[in-house]
Homo-oligomer: A and B are copies of this chain.
Amino acid sequence: MSFLFKIEKKNGRMRAGKIETPHGVIETPAFVTVGTKATVKALTPEQVASLGAQVVLANTYHLYLEPGDEIVRDGGGLGKFMNWHGPTMTDSGGFQVFSLGAAFGKNASKISERGAEPESVADSDEKTSVHEALAKIDEDGVSFKSVIDGSVHRFTPERSMEIQHNIGADIFFAFDECTSPHAPYEYQREAMDRTHRWAQRSLDYHQKNVKRDVEAQPTQALFGIVQGGRHEDLRKESAKVIGEMKTSAGVGFDGFGIGGSFDKEDMYTVVGWVNDILPEEKPRHLLGIGEPEDFFGGIENGADLFDCVAPTRLARTGNLYSAHGRINIKNTKFRTDFGVIATGPDEKKCSCYTCTNYTAAYLSHLFRANEMEAATLASIHNLYFIVNLVKMIRQSILDDTFFEFKKDFLKKYRKN
């Protein structure tokens, strides 16, 4: 079996485990590093590996548009193409189709990017007429305009799977519709029901077309996505339907994504509802989530995997994580600060490459001088902080110290 999820320890909903993939093991809970366009922004794969990252998630929508999924395929598939030797994942492209697809129809779903900083217009209802982030949805799929050149494209569940097969990661996601948390109940139900029908088509296409090893086992895994917005009945129904979904040959999903744009106060509750219903023996990925304070609630409620662009996006603007919250290294006080850049989650001096080899004054200088190396050094720190925070949470589950660690970390982190 190419994919195997082993739970090593459980405590209530939370668990520590391991996902075996053809490109190595992912120890869970884990933060999945985002490499949207087949590169983790500003970092070499060696830098990504050396900061402790276990797995990279690329973006189906972006790679389909540029360089094109067939070019990634002809380049040996995602891992070989980008020189990343560990496990890889691709999302379904659904989220970007709905959040980035330019307007040219109705049945619009308008959402902000999961877990990311608010974009300039995407969060503002008033500006909808100026720059709508829309796509045209029908039962069969979605038509959308390219964010690059405005050309019209179409994704269906089968097409998303075909593109993901071309990109060739280890783990794929079923094609889903991601709704706004503020969409009305009736639209949430309609979108969820459609996502379930798309999930079945994704699963069927995948099982029929996936490459198999000598023992006829699939060499790539497919995760189904649970939707349903903030509504308890919809989320529970979606978890049950997606959790039990099977091909006619009786094969289900290899794991699950929990999708949707959450209001943060709802998120942990929703994750708990869903994970009480999803099959316990398969991994669950809380999609697009990953600020430091999010992991504790997500893991406590049964999530195993997280991904988020925030660590690298914040890094590129000089915002660095520390035990006491975010600092902005461009702040004047850092100009002459020859001390440690930041603390790790445990309040000790951070052990990352950046904090080990450079002072706050130097990194501050690089940002002021608009040097590209600023983004590299800051991204290494933020990813190291996040990746290792999740590793520390994992260890705390194994050591039965999760709740103390959670209390200590959040008290310090939120104080700032």
The reply to whether the CB of A185 lies closer than 8 angstroms to some CB of chain B is no
**What chain B residues lie within 8 Å of A212 (beta carbons)?**
none
What 0/1 readout, one digit per residue, does chain A (353-388) give for beta carbons within 8 Å of chain B? 000011101101110110111011100000000000
Q: Are B71 and A361 in contact (CB under 8 A)?
A: yes
Which of A56-87 touch B at CB < 8 Å?
A: 62, 66-67, 71, 74-76, 81-83
Q: Are A66 and B365 in contact (CB under 8 A)?
A: yes
Which of A83-116 touch B at CB < 8 Å?
A: 83
Determine, out of A16-24, A36-44, A150-158, A292-300, the stretch whose residues face the partner at the interface.
A36-44
**What chain B residues lie within 8 Å of A364 (beta carbons)?**
67
The reply to whether the CB of A338 lies closer than 8 angstroms to some CB of chain B is yes
Q: Are A361 and B67 in contact (CB under 8 A)?
A: yes
Partner of A38, one of B81, B83, B365: B365
In the bound complex, CA of A38 to CA of B368 (Å): 12
Q: Are A365 and B67 in contact (CB under 8 A)?
A: yes
In the bound complex, CA of A69 to CA of B67 (Å): 44
The reply to whether the CB of A335 lies closer than 8 angstroms to some CB of chain B is yes
Q: Are A362 and B66 in contact (CB under 8 A)?
A: no
Partner of A372, one of B41, B75, B335, B368: B41
Which residue of B has the minimal Cβ distance to A42? B372
The reply to whether the CB of A128 lies closer than 8 angstroms to some CB of chain B is no
The reply to whether the CB of A209 lies closer than 8 angstroms to some CB of chain B is no
Q: Are B373 and A44 in contact (CB under 8 A)?
A: yes
The reply to whether the CB of A269 lies closer than 8 angstroms to some CB of chain B is no
Q: A83 CB to closest chain B CB, in angstroms?
A: 5
Q: Are A362 and B75 in contact (CB under 8 A)?
A: yes
Which of A297-346 touch B at CB < 8 Å?
A: 335-336, 338
Residue among A43, A44, A335 having the largest count of chain B Cβ atoms under 10 Å: A44
Partner of A359, one of B37, B39, B75: B75
How many residues of chain A get a CB closer than 8 Å to chain B's CBs?
36
Q: Are A338 and B373 in contact (CB under 8 A)?
A: no
Q: Are B41 and A335 in contact (CB under 8 A)?
A: no
| With A75-B362, A83-B357, A362-B82 as contacts: A369 and B66 at CB distance below 8 Å | yes
Q: Are A362 and B81 in contact (CB under 8 A)?
A: yes
| With A81-B362, A336-B74, A338-B74 as contacts: A67 and B373 at CB distance below 8 Å | no
Which residue of B has the minimal Cβ distance to A373? B39
Q: Are B373 and A75 in contact (CB under 8 A)?
A: no
| With A74-B336, A357-B83, A362-B75 as contacts: A372 and B372 at CB distance below 8 Å | yes
Q: Are A71 and B335 in contact (CB under 8 A)?
A: yes
**What chain B residues lie within 8 Å of A62 (beta carbons)?**
369
In the bound complex, CA of A43 to CA of B377 (Å): 10
Q: Are B366 and A39 in contact (CB under 8 A)?
A: yes
Q: Taking A67-B369, A71-B365 as given, write out 18 further A-B residue pairs in contact, using a Cβ cutoff of 8 Å, ordered by the A residue number.
A: A37-B365, A37-B371, A38-B365, A39-B373, A41-B371, A43-B373, A44-B373, A62-B369, A67-B335, A67-B368, A71-B336, A75-B338, A75-B361, A75-B362, A81-B359, A81-B361, A83-B358, A372-B376
> Chain A residues in contact with chain B, CB under 8 A?
37-39, 41-44, 62, 66-67, 71, 74-76, 81-83, 335-336, 338, 357-359, 361-362, 364-366, 368-369, 371-373, 375-377
List, sorted by A's number, 19 A–B pairs whose CB atoms are closer than 8 Å.
Answer: A37-B365, A38-B365, A39-B373, A41-B372, A41-B373, A42-B373, A43-B373, A44-B373, A44-B376, A67-B335, A67-B361, A67-B364, A67-B369, A71-B335, A75-B338, A75-B361, A75-B362, A372-B376, A376-B376
